[in-house]
Amino acid sequence: MADAMQELRRSRNGLAAADPAELELLFQALPPHINRAVKRLDHQGLLLEVVLDLGREPEARFPDHEVILDETPVTAEDLDEEGRRLLAARTSFTPGPGPTHITIYSPRERDLGIPSGDKSPVGPRDFQLAVLITAREIDQQYEWSAHEPAGLRQGLEQSVIDVLKYDRDVAGLSDKDATLIRFGRALFREHQVSSEVWQKMVNHFGRQHTVQLMTIMGDYFRVGFMLNAVDQHLPPGRKALLPPLKK
């Protein structure tokens, strides 16, 4: 189910209708009763995601509204095989205040695609964008010089990379890329994000991928923090690609 949703979301830049073949991949991955409910909806081509959160009603998300698909809350039987496996490994989880009600969306057992991003649930392009946001914010040359070329290989445009590299305004970028960059900059610089930015992240990426993007940023911050502490130099032959910024 996650792979089908990833393919659908990866294709959505703006509000153009989704490819019918990609929609069908998603529909096939859904539980039968959710599948039938989604197929009864109007404007299926503008579908952003289907949210199946345990204990909550299943929900279809569109750019400007949400639709409850069934009044019966989602149970473990509605999850795919990987979801049931991860849930079974968390026998002591109890929803409530604190970090676990956030990290449940991105359990440590889930492969986030580090270091290449090839198999990342958020998609390789967004994976690399999240890493570069982190590297720029902590001036981490080692990480940046590895991931700028990797980002280009994964389809990240040089124009987007340069907005990060030179700390430029996000005007002119797609709303999705601009939102992720604003989100990362706010977390690193202000240590919080506005409700508006958070909602835009969820609208573009969904709850699970938003938390996974934060986890990727956090993992690269942890490593970059240590690399900065020991003044890690680049390997021989690797070009320094991250310019210093004027403070």
The 3 state secondary structure assigned to the chain is CHHHHHHHHHCCCCCCCCCHHHHHHHHHHCCHHHHHHHHCCCCHHHCCEEECCECCCCEEEECCEEEECCCCCECHHHCCHHHHHHHHCCCCCCCCCCCHHHHCCCCCCCCCCCCCCCCCCCCHHHHHHHHHHHHHHCCCHHHHHHHHHHHHHCCCCHHHHHHHHCCCCCCCCCHHHHHHHHHHHHHHHHCCCCHHHHHHHHHHHHHHHHHHHHHHHHHHHHHHHHHHHCCCCCCCCCCCCCCCCCC
Tell me what the mean pLDDT of segment 96-117 comes to: 75
- Tell me the chain's radius of gyration from C-alpha atoms: 19
Q: Calculate the CA 172 to chain-centre distance.
A: 21
pLDDT of residue 51: 77
Q: Domain residues of the chain, as ranges?
A: 2-77, 124-229
Query: Would you state the structure tokens that stand for residue 90, as one six-digit string?
Result: 């968390």
The CATH code that applies to domain 124-229 is: 1.20.1290.10
Tell me what the mean pLDDT of segment 40-65 comes to: 77
* Chain mean pLDDT for the chain: 83
Using pLDDT thresholds of 50, 70 and 90, give the confidence band for residue 183: very high
pLDDT of residue 215: 94
Q: What is the reported pTM?
A: 0.68
Using pLDDT thresholds of 50, 70 and 90, give the confidence band for residue 160: very high
Using pLDDT thresholds of 50, 70 and 90, give the confidence band for residue 95: low
